């Protein structure tokens, strides 16, 4: 008499369900990875680019699982997702072509620091600035309390422009060197200020733009962010001096607004060739995204680029040592 195998009856449907879930997950990862290419259609699609590193990890782990389970369909889908993400991430890991600078040139140290307006740990931020000895600092989310705290740095950064606000868009520039031709600009109807100034450095003047656009929380906000960064790009492109842009840009390197800023502004991300280091949210292990930046003109020698420790803010500070062309 023929008897069926109960274990086999249970396992085959169970395996098929598992394979179906894996394939569906693979398709979801591929769609998430590719969605950013259609970011012009809807702001949510562009927002997926902020998580490019996580799409890469998901596609890599999923591909390994699909290969181990001998699931060619899921493996093919995840391989396509891996290629998409690798294409965007690879420039941040591949060594950049060497640039040559004069041997006697001391790098300019630029620090960008979103202190988080409600952060009460002012001493941590002040101590970090003192320990790093920057030449110029962009400080974001400066209110009256933070403006008073920044006065403690008068002895090392005596030149300054501070535009405090009661919301999260106050801004300041602190400099070791004199500042000239300073202008506070508003690139959109939001009225959020950016500071544009010339740093009178001993090795030669350069233009410095500190900026902090509104985050892309919805469609109108995303449009405002794009318009804001387009205005920054116009200023950088029109500068007759080498121009550095620093701040919390609320945009990952693979977003449409960031790509336009770099291309139209004639700028270069100091992170290229140095890996992807996320800066927000500092209080969460994941997901963190890289939205704080220091951008420089082509031909700049990037001597170093680091992400600093926590200062009580929801952002980590970023720093770049550069020799301008």
Assess whether pLDDT exceeds 80 at residue 102: no
- Assess whether pLDDT exceeds 60 at residue 9: no
* pLDDT confidence bin for 22, thresholds 50/70/90: confident
Q: What is the pLDDT of residues 300-309, one digit of tens each?
A: 999 999 999 9
- The mean pLDDT of 15-20, rounded to a whole number, is 62
Q: At residue 280, does pLDDT exceed 80? A: yes
Residue 81, C-beta contacts closer than 8 angstroms, at least 6 positions apart: 26, 29, 30, 32, 33, 34, 55, 58, 59, 62
Give the pTM: 0.91
pLDDT for residue 1 is more than 50: no
The answer to whether residue 6 scores a pLDDT higher than 50 is: no
Average pLDDT, the chain: 92
Span 125-171, pLDDT tens digits: 999 999 999 999 999 999 999 999 999 999 999 999 999 999 999 99
pLDDT value at 103 more than 70: no
- Bond into 142 cis (ω within 30): no
Q: Is pLDDT above 50 for 270?
A: yes
Q: How confident is the model over 111-121, as pLDDT tens digits?
A: 999 999 999 99
The pLDDT value recorded for residue 3 is: 46
Assess whether pLDDT exceeds 90 at residue 12: no
For the chain, the structural domain boundaries read: 6-92, 108-323
Query: 15: pLDDT confidence band, cut at 50, 70 and 90?
Result: low
Could you tell me whether strands 268-269 and 301-307 are parallel, antiparallel, or unpaired per DSSP bridges?
Answer: unpaired
- Return the CATH number of the domain spanning residue range 108-323: 3.60.10.10
Give residue 264's pLDDT: 98
- pLDDT tens profile 187-243: 999 999 999 999 999 889 999 999 999 999 999 999 999 999 999 999 999 999 999
pLDDT at 203: 86
Q: How far is CA 94 from the centre of its chain?
A: 18
Q: What is the pLDDT of residues 26-77, one digit of tens each?
A: 999 999 999 999 998 999 999 999 999 999 999 999 999 999 988 999 999 9
Is residue 246 within 8 A of residue 210, CB to CB? The reply is yes
């Amino acid at each position: 008499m023929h008897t069926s195998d109960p274990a086999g009856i249970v396992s085959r449907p169970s395996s098929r369900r598992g394979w179906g879930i894996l394939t569906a997950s693979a398709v979801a990862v591929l769609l998430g990875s590719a969605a950013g290419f259609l970011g012009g259609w809807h702001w949510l699609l562009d927002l997926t680019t902020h998580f490019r590193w996580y799409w890469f990890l998901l596609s890599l782990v999923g591909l390994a699982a699909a290969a181990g389970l001998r699931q060619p369909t899921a493996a093919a889908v995840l391989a396509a997702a891996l290629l998409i993400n690798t294409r965007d991430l690879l420039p941040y890991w591949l060594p950049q072509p060497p640039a040559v600078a004069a041997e006697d040139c001391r790098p300019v140290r630029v620090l960008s620091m979103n202190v988080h307006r409600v952060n009460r740990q002012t001493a941590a931020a002040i101590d970090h600035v003192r320990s790093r000895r920057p030449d110029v600092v962009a400080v974001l989310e400066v209110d009256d309390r933070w403006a008073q705290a920044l006065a403690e740095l008068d002895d090392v950064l005596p030149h300054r422009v501070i535009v405090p606000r009661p919301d999260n868009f106050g801004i300041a520039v602190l400099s070791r060197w004199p500042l000239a031709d300073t202008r506070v600009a508003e690139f959109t109807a939001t009225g959020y200020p950016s500071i544009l100034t010339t740093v009178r450095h001993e090795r030669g003047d350069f233009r410095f733009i500190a900026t902090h656009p509104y985050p892309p929380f919805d469609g109108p906000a995303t449009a405002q962010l794009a318009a804001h960064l387009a205005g920054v790009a116009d200023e950088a492109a029109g500068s007759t001096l080498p121009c550095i842009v620093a701040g919390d840009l609320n945009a990952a390197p693979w977003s449409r607004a960031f790509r336009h800023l770099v291309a139209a502004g004639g700028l270069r991300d100091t992170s290229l060739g140095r890996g992807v280091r996320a800066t927000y949210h500092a209080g969460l292990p994941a997901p963190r995204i890289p939205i704080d930046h220091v951008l420089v003109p082509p031909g700049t020698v990037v001597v170093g680029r680091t992400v600093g420790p926590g200062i009580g803010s929801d952002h980590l500070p970023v720093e770049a040592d550069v020799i301008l062309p």
